[in-house]
A and B are shown apart, each in its own frame.
Chain A
């Protein structure tokens, strides 16, 4: 089936099978920052933004993204500059192996759009669908708080 999507700002027109999962479609374009962790809707590694809202791309079909704007981790960086959430994950060591990081940053970026000054509870609640096996979350929370502070300054 023919679909038209905007992926990280670029218009794409593709022919996909109805059962193709969105995550595989995205990875097939070369944007392999979107990870497949569990493939059973449980971990959030495959999180992307669909029209700005974080969702699990292993649990949508590519055809369902027709007409939508998709943002993946590759789309966070703008004009050669890291998005503040990326800079803050780096600054605060908000990652270890990095497998959860793309999903974690997209969910956090969406949170900061809605709530520029989240409390620790707000952050922990917002990322509760994104599982990290390495960090214990402490530095992830710090990174999101740091990003919020920096974004409020500018």
Chain B
């Protein structure tokens, strides 16, 4: 299978890439890991006239924790996250999601930022990014913009980037004090997209009560979705089995899954409820550890 013909450039600096993108406008597409874009081009679901390959740009493969943020650059591959001690130490939700994204070969090439930009409602990373309240840093020839993840994920395969913008990194608040997170994913076979998955993040105050909570859902709506009512029910409360059960029930209400080969809508909603509760339990255990 072959994509439609396209012009290709592989600039070595971000400035060059931004200049090409601003020249070519909507007809140009960024190529990162290519693990979603190339299959789509081969199926002719996408036929960009110009591909700007960012793989040769240096300075985009950073994982660092400077200035209160954990920063993950545009060329950080899924597998770099699996292997990052920095991430394992700072963020349980991201660390636990990484090994479950795609298969080992795809993880060697695909990027977190590419996945965030792709906005596939069955993709894992945007749920994690919602739960940990990430921000997306986008550059264009005109300058830099920081976009909260809630504003970035617009709809089914739709983000809020303007033509000419490149995601250079995502940044995640570096949680200090007692906190924890988890990502629980149900898949039919290893390497598959989620049937249902839930990302959770909890912070505890000095009084032991929940001071911040993140709950977000994969593959049960037309985009990765924050379970706002569940989060609100958690904040300010003492953690308990009852509370987590209630949060699970509220999260299930935020899901509007479709019945398909992976299962019925009713069953998926049930999985959301159970996985939310278990994810919160795992997050709490980590926070107290």
Contacts and interface: CB of A to CB of B under 8 A. Distances in A.
12 contacts: A18-B8, A40-B43, A41-B35, A44-B105, A54-B108, A56-B105, A59-B34, A59-B39, A64-B55, A125-B104, A128-B104, A128-B191
Nearest to A114: B83
Contacts of B7: 18
Interface of A: 1, 17-19, 21, 39-41, 44, 47, 53-56, 59-61, 63-64, 66, 107, 125-130
B173 interface: no
A60 B2 CA distance: 12
Interface string B157-190: 0000000000000000000000000000000001
B5 interface: yes
B6 interface: yes
A125 B55 CA distance: 27
B104 A63 contact: no
Contacts, number: 71
B108 A19 contact: no
B209 interface: no
Contact of A61 (B8, B35, B105, B190): B8
Nearest to B38: A59
The 9 closest A-B pairs by CB, nearest first: A129-B103, A18-B8, A129-B105, A128-B190, A129-B104, A59-B38, A19-B3, A41-B39, A53-B108
Contacts of A125: 104
B2 A21 contact: yes
B106 interface: yes
Contacts of A1: 8
Name the prevailing secondary structure of the B interface residues.
loop
Given A64-B55, A128-B190, A39 B42 contact: yes
A25 to B, nearest CB: 13
Interface of B: 1-8, 10, 34-35, 38-39, 42-43, 51, 53, 55, 102-106, 108-109, 190-191
A49 to B, nearest CB: 10
Given A64-B55, A129-B191, 11 more contacts: A17-B5, A18-B7, A39-B42, A40-B39, A41-B38, A44-B105, A61-B8, A63-B8, A64-B53, A129-B104, A129-B106
Contact of B38 (A54, A61, A66, A127): A61
Nearest to A19: B3
Contacts of B103: 44, 128-129
A18 B55 CA distance: 15
Residue of A18, A53, A125 with most chain B CB atoms under a 10 A cut-off: A18
Given A64-B10, A128-B191, A40 B42 contact: yes
B2 A54 contact: no
Contacts of A66: 10
Contact of A41 (B3, B4, B106, B108): B106
Contacts of B5: 17-19
Given A1-B8, A59-B34, A19 B2 contact: yes
Nearest to A24: B2
A21 B41 CA distance: 12
A1 B53 CA distance: 14
A42 to B, nearest CB: 8
A21 B42 CA distance: 10
B249 to A, nearest CB: 34
Given A40-B42, A41-B39, A64-B53, A18 B105 contact: no
B105 A54 contact: yes
A119 B105 CA distance: 19
Contact of B1 (A39, A44, A47): A39
B7 to A, nearest CB: 7
A19 B7 CA distance: 9
A100 B77 CA distance: 25
